[in-house]
Structure 1
Amino acid sequence: MGLHAAPPRRRRAALLVPLGLMLLAVLLGVPRADGALGSADACHTTGTQLPRGDCGPFWQVLAEDFDGDRVPLGSFSDCDHHVDTSAAYCGGLSGEYRDNWWAYPTGWRDTADDRDRDVVGVYHPEDTVSVGPATNGDGRMYIRMWRPADGGPVHAAAVVPRAVMQMKYGKYSARIKVTRLAPGYKSAWLHYGGGCEMDHPEGEWTGDLTAFHHPCGGGEQGYFPGSDHWTEWHTVSTEWTPGHVRFFVDGRQTGHDTRNVPDRPLSWILQNESALQGPGAAPGSSAQLDITWVAAYAYGWK
């Protein structure tokens, strides 16, 4: 285990001067003295390991690498308690996982249900989410979505780190890879509420990682297409500060918006569901996303 401190979406002095300049340079991706372009995100995230410790204006409140943990299928059950609040929990979980994780309850319908899609999804965390070691011993959270052979709805999954539920601003990072690919499955990891939404990463798993910002109160969405494939390991990060939202893939800034950025507490939803574009999931098919670590940070100078 690591360090831990809505209904489903319908469709997320002298010393200080150089430190400030340094932070600005990092955010803009200014080249280092050796000429190489440094990581643009506040934590300089270029490696594959779980980052630990505070960075820039962010202080770490969640660092989970899943190493040594086993949470079998069936554990993410009975999640209909205090839903969409920081008191939410899944009765099927125990110990630190009950304290630190929640999931959309069984029976909630996914975004495709409002999109006139032939294939829609229903959240079933009890038979889609588990934690355990990979063949190389690396601890991972597994999101395995599937569609029954009889052609029923996709079994979807949305998990929520409780440490950052209803938190205003922050930095949110994870290292992910789709390890089993099939058409008809997607992710939309998001913050949303009150007419505001920030999505990263989002997209059908057969395509590329993208990001979106839906300004509070409406207006044209910010769309930030990517060129990185879901089927390769990537570190994804969202940095949300007053008046700014920035999106990163492997330390490279892929999007930035300043229009009506949320200024209210929101939860980070790791939402995975049936596709909104392209073919629907075939009966009997399945697809899987692996998460090898998750890190999150509150915002503000300490």
Structure 2
Amino acid sequence: MPRNSRHRRKLTTRTKISALVLSFATLAMGSAAWAGQSQPSSGVVVDSLSLSTASSGRLTATAKVHSDRTIRVQALTVAVRSANGSHFDFPGATAPTLGPSQTTFTSGSRTFPAGTYKAFVAYKYRDTWHNLSPIKTFTSGATGTPTPSPTASASASPSPSSTPSPSSTPTAPTPTAPSPSQTTSTTGAAPVGIPGTWRQVFGDEFNGTSLDGSKWNPNWLGCPTCTTKPVNSAELGAYAPSQVSVSGGSLHLKAEKQQTTANDGKTYAYRSGLVESNGKAQFTYGAFEARIYTPAASPGVIANWPAFWTDGQNWPEDGEMDVMEGLGGGKACYHFHSPSGGPGGCAPGDFTGWHTYGAEWKPGVVTYYYDGKQVGQITTGITSSPMYVILNNGVSTEHGGPISTPADMMTDYVRVWQH
């Protein structure tokens, strides 16, 4: 669709000042950014890079660096890539002033799924990311114990700056609370209805009792305990970690009417749940799928503004792929946003309750599948930058379906495959 009031992020708000604020919001969140390609080091040298493991199995990175001249960097972090190219960076990026005297960076701690990884120091200066040697290779097993060794160079890629898309139509809420039957699909299964040979590169079956912090952040680009402002200025609810939970084999993102003050200092009439994988997993191309329960405001009408989507680090240049979002009138819709616009459409039928939503993203084309059937395809403006995964239960009278709270958007699983 053309850029209009349906879109969550308005280009008119993306000034240089807001971009700078977003850059530092990313640092506060503690998620590392990725450089699109290796750049000259601008005189910054890594004196040492080490990884340590606590008794809990969580890893921490420590880097000592200096510069041949004094510069204030926008971000300094230790980035990590898995063997299949997924991003698993350490939290706790900072924005120090570097100079001839040595600066020590100590990351936050995190766990890694079993596998082999490459870690390296990256910093952002004058809006350009630089990746530094040495690169450490380590293997994480069941205990997360790293076995480091130096290896050849690797390239990393950007950090975030903004968000998704959709539409309007407010009506008086008609709360309904159907009881869904819960079934969990087999881990590693092929994407539903999407042809081809696939290997799974990311997934969460939500079979535990708490959110997996190695895969997800529980709000919109904020610190782990922060209540963050909405993704879009048309939303009426802040995003709070308290609204995110895992139980009964599902992720729960609960929207409710309760005044909440967010990290922008504003008070919102609603609070709700959101998870995103920025700084922990992002992908270029592949099949993206989630089985989601969307609450109904009335029979056949999706309540609120639930969405399953992906976003790049710089919007709209890097793109935004909306796999499913409940738009005005409670419809299930899809879009792809880029500098050239936001084409898309809505699928006919009742998509309240449990349904499977998927998209295959490949060069020049994105094809959308609902319950294994193709519902649309977009062939213009398709970008190729990495994107991270987001699920959120938005509340808006300008966008989305009729407001109905409390409302629990549930997700059985999220999976990403590549060829």
Q: TM-score range by the shorter chain?
A: 0.5 to 0.7
Q: CA separation of 1:230/1:206 partners in 2, compared to 1, >3 Å: closer, same or farther?
A: farther
Q: CA separation of 1:145/1:66 partners in 2, compared to 1, >3 Å: closer, same or farther?
A: same
Aligned to 1:122: 238
Aligned to 1:255: 376
How far apart are residue 157 of structure 1 and its match? Answer: 2.1
The C-alpha deviation readout for 1:178-224, integer Å capped at 9, x for no partner, is: 2464886212322233422211201249612110122x3223x3122
Aligned to 1:19: none
Aligned to 2:344: 223
Q: Is the 8 A contact 2:336 2:343 kept in 1?
A: yes
SS at match of 1:103: coil
Q: TM-score, normalised by structure 2?
A: 0.47
Aligned to 2:283: 167
Aligned to 1:62: 202
For residues 278 and 160 of structure 1, the distance between their equivalents in structure 2, rounded to whole angstroms, comes to 20
The C-alpha deviation readout for 1:104-143, integer Å capped at 9, x for no partner, is: 2333322442x3xxx612111x22111111xxxxx11111
Q: Is the 8 A contact 1:167 1:267 kept in 2?
A: yes
For residues 215 and 242 of structure 2, the distance between their equivalents in structure 1, rounded to whole angstroms, comes to 19
Aligned to 2:188: 52
**Residues 138-157 of structure 1: matches in 2 within 5 Å?**
139-148=249-258, 152-157=268-273
SS at match of 1:155: strand
Q: CA separation of 1:165/1:257 partners in 2, compared to 1, >3 Å: closer, same or farther?
A: same
Aligned to 2:86: none
The C-alpha deviation readout for 1:231-287, integer Å capped at 9, x for no partner, is: 2211110111111111110111111111121111111111321123378747xx311
Q: CA separation of 1:156/1:267 partners in 2, compared to 1, >3 Å: closer, same or farther?
A: same
**1:107 counterpart = 2:247:** no
Q: Give the unaligned 5+ runs of structure 2.
A: 1-112, 116-159, 167-182, 261-266
Q: Write the letter of the residue equivalent to 2:209.
A: R
Q: CA separation of 1:8/1:109 partners in 2, compared to 1, >3 Å: closer, same or farther?
A: farther
Q: CA separation of 1:278/1:48 partners in 2, compared to 1, >3 Å: closer, same or farther?
A: closer
Q: Is the 8 A contact 1:109 1:122 kept in 2?
A: yes
SS at match of 1:52: coil
For residues 255 and 144 of structure 1, the distance between their equivalents in structure 2, rounded to whole angstroms, comes to 29
Q: How many residue pairs are counted as aligned between the two chains?
A: 224
**Residues 173-188 of structure 1: matches in 2 within 5 Å?**
173-179=289-295, 181=297, 185-188=304-307
Aligned to 1:200: 323
Q: Is the 8 A contact 1:176 1:290 kept in 2?
A: yes
The C-alpha deviation readout for 1:31-68, integer Å capped at 9, x for no partner, is: xxxxxxxxxxxxxxxx972452567243102343223x
The higher-RCO structure (CA 8 Å, 6+ apart) is 1
Residue 242 (structure 1) aligned to one of 363, 376, 383: 363
Q: Write the letter of the residue equivalent to 2:188.
A: R
Q: TM-score, normalised by structure 1?
A: 0.63
Q: Is the 8 A contact 1:50 1:293 kept in 2?
A: no
For residues 247 and 280 of structure 2, the distance between their equivalents in structure 1, rounded to whole angstroms, comes to 23
Q: CA separation of 1:233/1:4 partners in 2, compared to 1, >3 Å: closer, same or farther?
A: farther
**1:233 counterpart = 2:354:** yes
Q: Is the 8 A contact 2:329 2:400 kept in 1?
A: no
For residues 235 and 10 of structure 1, the distance between their equivalents in structure 2, rounded to whole angstroms, comes to 19
Q: Please, what is the CA RMSD of the aligned residues?
A: 3.3
SS at match of 1:189: strand
SS at match of 2:389: coil
Q: Write the letter of the residue equivalent to 1:189.
A: F
Q: CA separation of 1:53/1:251 partners in 2, compared to 1, >3 Å: closer, same or farther?
A: closer
Structure with greater proportional strand content = 2
Q: CA separation of 1:51/1:206 partners in 2, compared to 1, >3 Å: closer, same or farther?
A: farther
The C-alpha deviation readout for 1:70-100, integer Å capped at 9, x for no partner, is: 12xxxxxxxxxxxxxxxxxxxxx6xxx1222
Structure with greater proportional helix content = 1
Q: CA separation of 1:121/1:280 partners in 2, compared to 1, >3 Å: closer, same or farther?
A: farther
Aligned to 1:16: none
Q: Write the letter of the residue equivalent to 2:213.
A: R
For residues 287 and 226 of structure 1, the distance between their equivalents in structure 2, rounded to whole angstroms, comes to 22
Q: CA separation of 1:54/1:180 partners in 2, compared to 1, >3 Å: closer, same or farther?
A: closer
Q: Is the 8 A contact 1:181 1:231 kept in 2?
A: no
For residues 279 and 190 of structure 2, the distance between their equivalents in structure 1, rounded to whole angstroms, comes to 16
For residues 378 and 273 of structure 2, the distance between their equivalents in structure 1, rounded to whole angstroms, comes to 28
SS at match of 2:388: coil
Identity across the alignment (%)? 23
SS at match of 1:127: helix
